[in-house]
Structure 1
């Protein structure tokens, strides 16, 4: 199941020379040197659900169903199949692992993309380079300090409200229910932005 506001403009390429391409991250070798990534997604063997893409205003671009715990391939596939041009910045809790994953597959497409770990999750990345942290970029570029790096966490916490209801539904109905919930969520977020903008005028 897949539901994005952006149309699919290309298929996800295959990379036969890259071992385990497109498969779930189930070992330390596949997840790189980030211990937090391995402990969260690989070792615990999380079950599936949905993966949603958010803008910095907590407005959802769309979502797709995932059979197992969210991995780098889910984010990569969403961007490469829907975005005409790679985003300038991707703020993700495991951007330290996502960046190399994307660059090794589509170096030209992601050539100008910055992959940054948000401030909330950065303390858990004890073995990762600070070069992957949003706060490191913000120290050089003050404009980045205004980015709402917790937008996705806020949105995901909203989706968590319907987790129990969705668990009792068939996949088709669950997707429709998620779509309806996210549509209402987006509308409320947009109305809130207009209201805030009106107060500033």
Structure 2
């Protein structure tokens, strides 16, 4: 059992960019890379088996896939997950550290992400007091009805759901933890899909 479980097959590999210093490092440790942002990455777990997991969520809080993180979440985790799994880049990526994910992604694959907007969800916006207002989903909502219709906290809701198994997983070995997480995600997706179906036919 590997630590990568995505419903989307890999369509390309993550390239190495030798002219970019610290490229493909497991964490973002260089302070100058953070720019003026005063928000740092949060880890999902601190046990010795893995740093946690990175989950891709759709706007309905359905899990598109996940992979384990060896140390702590970094921009490379999100960048690589999107770049290697999506034939075409999403039009919008909502992420709590989008202000730094955008330049990280564009400097590596400008053509691929040329039409992608990176937005900070409403829940985490207050932590970005020094970041540009153009990164805030709440500001984009004022003129884009498509963003207004999106639940920008869908990922946060999903991540809170994962908290239900955090304690159980902390007592498992690596393979069991990954398998247990996958089963939980499968059940989670089924429950969310059934709830959406009931709402549509209500």
Other-structure match for 2:189: 186
- Do 2:38 and 2:127's aligned partners in 1 also have CA atoms closer than 8 Å? no
State how far apart, in whole Å, the 2-side matches of 1:142 and 1:4 are.
Answer: 30
Correspondence 1:101 to 2:104? yes
Whole-angstrom CA distance in 2 between matches of 1:83 and 1:6: 8
- Cα distance in 2, alignment partners of residues 186 and 126 from structure 1: 34
SS of the counterpart of 1:36?
A: coil
Q: Alpha-carbon deviations, 1:86-139, whole Å to 9, x = none?
A: 000000000000000000000000000000000111111000000100011111
2 CA distance for matches of 1:168 and 1:143? 42
Give the 4+ runs in structure 1 shifted more than 3 A: none
TM-score (norm 1): 0.93
What is the alpha-carbon root mean square deviation over aligned residues?
Answer: 1.2
After superposition, residues 73-84 of structure 1 pair within 5 angstroms as 73-84=76-87
Listed as ranges, the gaps of 5+ residues in structure 1 are none
Query: 1:7 is matched with which residue?
Result: 9
1:22 and 1:126 map into 2 onto residues whose CA distance is 28
Post-superposition offset of 1:170? 1.0
Cα displacement (A) at 1:49: 0.6
Q: Secondary structure at the match of 1:69?
A: coil
Question: Is structure 2 residue 165 aligned with structure 1 residue 162?
Answer: yes
Question: Does structure 1 residue 128 correspond to structure 2 residue 124?
Answer: no
TM-score, normalised to structure 2, is 0.93
Partner Cα distance (2:192, 2:124) in 1: 24
Structure 2 runs not aligned, ≥5 long: none
Match status 1:92 vs 2:98 = no
CA distance in 2 between partners of 1:154 and 1:129 (Å): 25
The count of corresponding residues between Structure 1 and Structure 2 is 194
Deviation at 1:145, TM superposition (A): 1.1
Which position in structure 2 is the counterpart of 1:54? Answer: 57
Kindly indicate whether residue 24 of structure 2 is the aligned counterpart of residue 22 of structure 1: yes
